[in-house]
Amino acid sequence: MKASRPTLVLLGIVCLVLAAVLLAAMHDWEYLRPMPLPLAYKAGVGRSYCQAIAETAQDRSSQWLFVGAVVLLAGVIATGCGAMIGPGASGDQSVRGKLRENRNALLALAGALALSLGYGLIQRSDAATALAAGASANLALDDDLVAYKTCIMQRANWLMGRADHAWLDNLPGAQRLAVPSSSAAAPAAPQ
């Protein structure tokens, strides 16, 4: 069964609207709480801070992976629909006529934007997973103060990773984790 051009246009637009609604609703999800800020250190705060970071980062990782995958899929469908429908009727010089004439390019462009947004969300999901893994590994440290400082540095590296992905290499979850010693130093900033 061959789909008609108006059906493909509608399918592409529906996918993009679904992706936009999902992105807008993402900010109201209950478990999208802010990443915990460091408190003033006192005995016992280190591991509880690491646990809060690990839980929040894991929630973010799951959420961003789901939303990123849906947005990525919507982008693939919209781009495919834009490529299949071809240009509309030409001749009308109004704005509406020009939009109708270039509907395939506009739909494919919107799909490509959704693809890049979905890919970016999946990358942030990977970074949140690395942060969660590092914070979880810090729970095994014997020294509570070292665990606290290491979690603070990992959170800082995760934040800096938004702009420069080289910072994400300092997250222990980005490499293979080993059982840390209690005298482990905080990761260094990238060169």
Q: What pLDDT is attached to residue 3?
A: 60
Assign 110 to helix, strand or coil. helix
- Give, for 59, the enclosing helix (H) or strand (E): helix 45-85
State the pLDDT confidence band at 15, using cuts at 50, 70 and 90.
confident
Task: Dump pLDDT digits (tens) for 96-118.
Answer: 777 777 778 888 888 888 888 88
Task: Dump pLDDT digits (tens) for 153-185.
Answer: 888 888 888 777 777 776 665 444 444 454 545
Return phi, psi of residue 73, to 5°.
-65, -40
> CB burial class (10 A; 0-12, 13-18, 19+) of residue 18?
middle
Give domain limits for the chain: 5-174
Q: What pLDDT is attached to residue 179?
A: 46
Q: Measured between alpha carbons, how far is 128 from 29 in angstroms, rounded to an integer?
A: 17
Note if the pTM is more than 0.75.
Answer: no
Q: Measured between alpha carbons, how far is 131 from 169 in angstroms, rounded to an integer?
A: 11
